[in-house]
Chains A and B, each alone.
Chain A
Amino acid sequence: DAGVTQSPTHLIKTRGQQVTLRCSPKSGHDTVSWYQQALGQGPQFIFQYYEEEERQRGNFPDRFSGHQFPNYSSELNVNALLLGDSALYLCASSLVDTWSTDTQYFGPGTRLTVL
């Protein structure tokens, strides 16, 4: 049983570019949450997707957007990249009814570097 998978593992972009990160949830999970983890910091909640719609959103600008597909996989898009967007981007999957209290399974993350 595969856990949460994310791609790519590492990514280097330049300021102003756009990036798309991908996540496949753990088998049986229907909810995907995205977090940004800056170096030396705890993860910060970006948003959550369920039934192909954004269900919850943290304090992130509209440059951050996402999508969930019918197979529950998800994409995180970041436009007009800034140096401060350099971070580890984590995807977590769970079941909708227990997303906030049940185990959220995190993927290994995508390390984004913006030059």
Chain B
Amino acid sequence: QQQVKQSPQSLIVQKGGISIINCAYENTAFDYFPWYQQFPGKGPALLIAIRPDVSEKKEGRFTISFNKSAKQFSLHIMDSQPGDSATYFCAAVNSGGGADGLTFGKGTHLIIQP
């Protein structure tokens, strides 16, 4: 059972454009939603995270938008750069101590064309 659904599977954006990746979750016990960036041959690295008590969080060019009622959240990358080309994973967790650890989406392979 996939508890976090991520789309699209792959995405091509022109340099300077906006990259948008969407995730939806099912488990209402999730209360922390991080995004990870993974380059080939590397482990995932935390990019930005949000809790459901806020609807938006911005860090530099990266913004998370969160819709609690729809159980959806998204990552926006503004002014996308070739160095942003990577695989992005959304994740969710019940920080109170569920048995599943971080639950990840399947990932989005992002390519920024120069």
Contact = CB atoms under 8 A, between A and B. Distances in A.
Interface residues on B, range: 20 to 34
Interface residues on A, range: 20 to 34
Interface in B68-98: 89, 91, 93-95, 97
B42 A90 contact: no
A56 B104 contact: no
A103 B46 CA distance: 6
A108 B45 CA distance: 10
B35 to A, nearest CB: 12
A56 B36 CA distance: 21
Interface in A68-115: 90, 92, 100-101, 103-104, 106-109
B45 to A, nearest CB: 7
13 contacts: A43-B89, A44-B104, A56-B99, A57-B99, A58-B99, A58-B101, A90-B44, A100-B32, A100-B94, A100-B102, A101-B93, A104-B102, A107-B43
